[in-house]
Structure 1
Amino acid sequence: MTPQAVIFDIGNVLIEWQPERFYDREIGEARRRALFAEVDLHGMNDKVDRGGHFTEVIYATAEDYPDWRAEIRMWHDRWIELATPVIDHSVRLMRALQAKGVPVFSLTNFGIQSFDYAATHYPFLRDFDRPYISGHMGVIKPEPRIYEMVEQDCGVAPGALLFTDDRADNIAMAASRGWQTHLFESPAGWANRLVAAGLLSEKEAA
C-alpha cells in the first residue's frame, strides 16, 4: 500500500540528540560517565517528555544531587547545545514530501517547554501538518497509547502510515500496530525508503 501520510520522529532524525557528546566535550568523558552512572538524566528527561515542566523537573533533580548541580542544570540552561545540529537532508525530505501534497506528521518524545524553545531555533518544527508531541499527550513512545492516540486523531488507517524513528523499540511498537516503518540510520537510507514507497523520485529525495 502506498503510504497516505509520513510520520517523522525528531531526535536523531531531524535534529541530532546526543547529550553524552555534549557532556564529554564540557566535562570530559570520565566525569560524564560518573555523572550518568549516578544520575538518571534520561529518566529525568522522560518526566519532561511526559509533560513535566522543563525547568522545574531539571532544577529539582539538580537539587537532589548537589555535587552535580551545575552539570545537571546544563541540561536545561544549555539545552539547545544538546539538540544540535539539524540533519539538513532529513528536513529537505520533509519539505519535498509536503511539496508533493503528502501529509507529514511528527511523533516525538519532547517536552512542552523544550519543544517551544527548540522551535525558536528550528522553525521547521512548526511546519508539520499534524504535530504529535508527547509532552502534550502525557505519554511517551514506545507505550502503545501514544500510537493509538495518533491513529484516533489523524484519520489515516494504520497500514497507510509510514513512520521513521531511530529507536528500534519505537519502530517495533508501530509495526505491531500495522504501521509501515523504517528504522532511521541515515538520511540517505530514509530517502531510499521514500523513493521505494513511491512518494518521491530519486531527484526529489536527493
Structure 2
Amino acid sequence: MDTVVCDVGGVIIRFDTGVAQQIEARHDLDSGSLLAAALKSPPGRQAMAGEMTHEDWKQAMTGLVGESAIDEWLAYHGELDAEVVALLKKSRGAGARVVLLSNATARLHDDLAFHGLSDLADRVFCSAEMGLVKPNPRCFREAAQRAGFALERALYADDTASWVEAGVRLGMTGHLFSTAKALRDTLESTGLVS
C-alpha cells in the first residue's frame, strides 16, 4: 500500500447543513431546497460532471434559489477536519502518495485554498475538470493513471458507501469514512501511517 486516495467533501471539509438551513430561512426558501438545487438538480449534476462552467452553474442556481442566497452559500467554505488533515500530512510525510478525488465543481480549489490546503496532496482531481464523476470506474482509473499509482496499492477513503464500493471493485482497499479515529486505525493497519 503506497497511496491514499481521499474524498474532500464530508471527509476533509464538512459542509454543515445547519448553515444551509439558516440561509434558507433568511431568504424564505423551503427547507432543504438550497442543497437540493446546488447538488442534486440537473445544473448541479452537470457542473460536477464538467458539462457546465462554475459561472453557468451559479447563474442557474440564481434562477432556482436567488442570487443573494447562492452568494451566501458560496461564501461558506465548510468546516475543516483538522485531524483528517493531520493524518494525510503524516501519511504523506512517511512517503505515501496522497491524492484527492472529489465530485465537485471547480470551486473545489477555492475551498482548499480557503483552508490553506492547496499543497495537502500530491494531486487533486476534481470531477468537473476530469469530466468524470464517481462512482464511474473511469474516474478512478484516470486518477490512477494521471497520478501514477496502482489501484490495488491504494486506500480509498470516502463518506459515500457506493463510491467506496466502486473503488473496491477496482481493487482498491476501501474505507467508509465516519471519524478521524477510524481513518487513523485503517491507515495504521495498512501501514500508511505508524
**Secondary structure in 1 aligned to 2:182?**
helix
Q: TM-score, normalised by structure 2?
A: 0.86
| Equivalent-residue separation in structure 2 for 1:26 and 1:98 (angstroms) | 37
Are residues 5 and 167 of structure 1, via their aligned partners in 2, closer, same or farther at CA, if it must alter by over 3 Å? same
Q: Secondary structure at the match of 2:152?
A: helix
Match of 1:24 among 21, 25, 30: 21
Q: Determine which structure has more spread, i.e. the larger CA radius of gyration.
A: 1
Cα–Cα, structure 1 residues 165 and 108, in superposed 2: closer, same or farther, change >3 Å?
A: same
Encode CA deviations 1:45-73: one digit per residue, 9 max, x unaligned: 3322222222221222422x4xx324xx5
Aligned to 1:99: 93
Structure 2, unmatched stretches of 5+, are none
Residue 132 of structure 2 corresponds to residue 134 of structure 1: no
Return the match for 2:144 from 147, 151, 162.
151
Give the Cα–Cα distance (whole angstroms) in 1 for the partners of residues 60 and 88 of structure 2.
Answer: 37
Given that residues 156 and 172 in structure 2 are in contact (C-alpha distance below 8 angstroms), is that contact kept between their aligned partners in structure 1?
A: yes
Q: Which runs of 5+ in 1 are unaligned?
A: 202-206
Please state which structure has a larger fraction of its residues in helix.
Answer: 1
Rounded Cα–Cα distance in structure 2 between residues aligned with 1:95 and 1:198:
14
Range that drifts further, 192-201 or 84-93: 192-201
For residues 50 and 126 of structure 1, what CA distance do their matches in structure 2 show? Answer: 24
Report the CA distance shift for 1:198/1:119 in structure 2 as closer, same or farther (over 3 A): closer
The TM-score normalised by the length of structure 1 is 0.82
Q: How many residue pairs are counted as aligned between the two chains?
A: 190
Query: Cα deviation per residue 1:143-195 (whole Å; 9 max; x = unaligned)?
Result: 12201212322332221011100000110110111111100011111011111
Q: CA contact under 8 A between 2:105 and 2:127: conserved in structure 1?
A: yes
One-letter code aligned to 1:180: T
1:108 paired residue among 92, 97, 102: 102
**2:45 pairs with 1:46:** yes
Determine the C-alpha separation between the residues in 2 that align with 1:34 and 1:17: 14
Cα 1:165–1:75 shift into 2, 3 Å: farther
- Is 1:90 the counterpart of 2:77? The answer is no
Whole-angstrom CA distance in 1 between matches of 2:117 and 2:144: 23
Tell me the residue number matched to 1:79.
74
Q: Secondary structure at the match of 2:80?
A: coil
